Amino acid sequence: MNFVAIDISLLVIFVIFISFFLYTKRKNLKKEGLLFLYKTTWGMELIDRIGKKYKKTLNFLSYVSIGIGYLLMGSMLYLFGKIIYIYLAYPSVVKAIKIPPITPLVPYLPQVFKLDFLPPFYFTYWIIILAIIAITHEFAHGIFMRRHNIKIKSTGFGFFPFFFPIFLAAFVEQDEKSMKKSSPFKQMAVLAAGTFANILTAILSFVIIWIFFTTAFAPAGAEFNTYSYSVIGLSGITSINNISLENPTYENIFNLSKEEGLNEIESKNKTYLINKVGLEEQKGAKSYLILYDDSPAIRNEIDGAIIKINGVSIRDWESFGEEISKYSPGENIIITTKKDDTIKNYEITLGKNPDDSEKALVGVGYVEQKRKGLIGSVVGALSSFKKKYIYYEPKFEAGLFIYNLLWWLVLISVSVALINMLPMGIFDGGMFFYLTVLSLTKSERKAKLWFKISTNFLLFLFILLMVLWGISFIS
């Protein structure tokens, strides 16, 4: 029984349990707007105790949370602007990504859209992470409410009817009159507390994932992202697929290339290889092309992390180099790779190293790739404690499940914190922005006007993103 079947079974059990619980407690279930709310007094005593006991600490953290709120709001607006720019300037990139810009993170999304840079995302992860993020977020709101003497009416969980009862959210319901009577500073501290808790959750989870990874995983292979290649001047190219070229240009090389398979390009009595897609990616090249060396790796289309050579385990690139150095050009070896739990053997004949003809060549390597953007930086940071281009195996069966759960907890915590601080009506950032304008202008009329402008403008940009995404597939 694979994990997907177990995951779906756990989802069914969860839905049955929640449905039964809500049915037996239906007197506490009320519909408000889009949500069904289950109202209780759970946690109110603990919230009140913390809010009253640690007054000085919470006073200091009020300033910290407001500062982080502004930082997150600025970061999200910058990120949003960059996304708009990419969608306007690079429709081909948008088309390649395929996933709609406004898509909630739901189970199996990375698997469906083949987002290979992300680990798999299951229902089990989704439910656990939603519970952790929602509870800590709302719990923080409640603590800062009580510190600033804002009354709490109830706590509980909310359910969206179109996902009922799978998609849940926690809430702490404040007394609106008590909230509005408080100063803008106190209200802003309460509003920013949720995102502050998300950031603290992300930091704590990152520390846990770092400790867990260093103790629960071991190097078990060498990962590569390219075959060995060379930069070849266009003027030195003499033929492609045995067709002679007198005045080679990118255009005639591309036009003579095959749609399928590898193209053989000759230059200075050496053969280089590349497929048509690789040539197309270099469209407009004027003086040179990047071509793959004629190596056993590309000829045999070796794919996946290299975990063995002739049955000898490979831990990293150092052990890979040590093992290959035991063989000579022309010898046959078996390279074992692993990709997505699939193990494959390749029987290859070693080539000659272009720098030293006495050394054997496989023809694999890696190129440093930097992740761009704020989310890309977070994704990169989540792997910062790993040695680059090393394949790791967990020391026990549940290791990978726990690691991926923590990985998603960090990423989603940061994402929720960012999105929640958008200066838009439906998010905490909307009222946060309103109170900021109110504090600066001392005018409710101006604060309401700028709140409305900000909300409508961001809503327009969201619609624009979806339109640009749709156009990218038409053009």
- Do 206 and 69 lie in one domain? The reply is yes
User: Residue 359 — left, alpha, or beta (φ > 0 → left; ψ -120 to 50 → alpha)?
Assistant: beta
| pLDDT at residue 17, rounded to an integer | 85
Is residue 467 in a domain? Answer: yes
Asked if residue 164 has pLDDT above 60, the reply is no
Together in a domain, 312 and 433:
no
Does residue 402 sit in the same domain as residue 470?
yes
Do 279 and 311 lie in one domain? The reply is no
Residue 441 pLDDT greater than 90, yes or no: yes
What distance in Å separates the CA atoms of residue 408 and residue 402, rounded to the nearest whole number?
Answer: 10
Instruction: Give the model confidence (pLDDT) of 371-413 as tens digits.
Output: 555 556 666 777 777 888 999 999 998 999 999 999 999 999 9
CA 464 vs. chain centroid, Å, equals 23
Asked if pLDDT for residue 459 goes beyond 90, the answer is yes
Highest mean pLDDT, choosing among 253-262, 305-314, 360-369: 305-314
Helices (H), 257-316: 276-280, 296-299
Distance CA 464, CA 86 (A): 12
Measured CA to CA, the distance from residue 354 to residue 420 in angstroms comes to: 55
Return the pLDDT at 378.
Answer: 64
- The whole-number pLDDT of residue 373 equals 54
Res 432 pLDDT > 80: yes
Indicate if 278 and 314 belong to the same structural domain. no
pTM: 0.84
CATH number reported for the structural domain that contains residue 314 in this entry: 2.30.42.10
Reported residue count of the chain is 475
Is 401 domain-assigned? yes
Provide the pLDDT for residue 69.
97
Question: Contact, 371 vs 118, CB < 8 A?
Answer: no
For the segment 150-158, the average pLDDT, to the nearest whole number, is 90
pLDDT of residue 379: 67
Interval 281-289 mean pLDDT = 89
Q: Which domain holds residue 274?
A: 229-289
Indicate whether 42 pLDDT > 60: yes
130 and 278, same domain (yes or no): no
Is residue 383 assigned to a domain? no
Instruction: Tell which wins on pLDDT, 189 or 89.
Output: 189
Min mean pLDDT across 28-37, 133-142, 431-440 is at 28-37
Cα of first residue to Cα of last residue in the chain, in angstroms, is 44
233 inside domain: yes
CB 408 within 8 A of CB 416: no
| Sign, CA torsion 57/418/107/408 | negative
Residue range 126-152: average pLDDT? 94
- Boundary of a domain, candidates 319, 346, 365: 365
Residues 234 and 172 in one domain: no
pLDDT of 346 higher than 70: yes
Does 475 score more than 80 pLDDT? no
What pLDDT does residue 52 have?
92
Residue 106 lies in a domain: yes
Number of domain units in the chain: 3
**Residue 371 forms part of a structural domain:** no
pLDDT at 83: 87
Separation in Å, CA 117 to CA 123, 339, 368, 383, 409 = 19, 13, 14, 11, 16
pLDDT band at 12 (very low <50, low <70, confident <90, very high): confident
pLDDT band, residue 27 (cuts 50/70/90) = confident
Structural element, H or E, at residue 135: helix 123-147
Mean pLDDT throughout 182-208? Answer: 96
> Which of 289, 304, 334 delimits the end of a domain?
289
Do 340 and 277 fall within a single domain?
no
pLDDT digits (tens, 9 = 90+) for 116-138: 778 899 999 998 998 899 999 99
Please tell me the predicted confidence (pLDDT) of residue 183. 95
Do residues 440 and 329 share a domain? no
Domain boundary among 346, 365, 384: 365
Instruction: Please determine, for residue 114, whether its predicted confidence score (pLDDT) is greater than 90.
Output: no
Residues 402 and 353 in one domain: no
Least confident of 160-164, 227-231, 261-265, 437-441: 160-164
Q: Is residue 378 part of a domain?
A: no
User: How confident is residue 236, by pLDDT bands cut at 50, 70 and 90?
Assistant: very high
Amino acid identity at 124: T
Same domain, 312 and 235: no
Q: Let me know whether 236 and 123 are in one domain.
A: no
pLDDT for the residue numbered 284: 83
Higher-confidence residue of 13 and 91: namely: 13
Quick: pLDDT tens for 253-284: 999 999 999 999 999 989 999 999 999 989 88
- In-domain check, residue 223: no
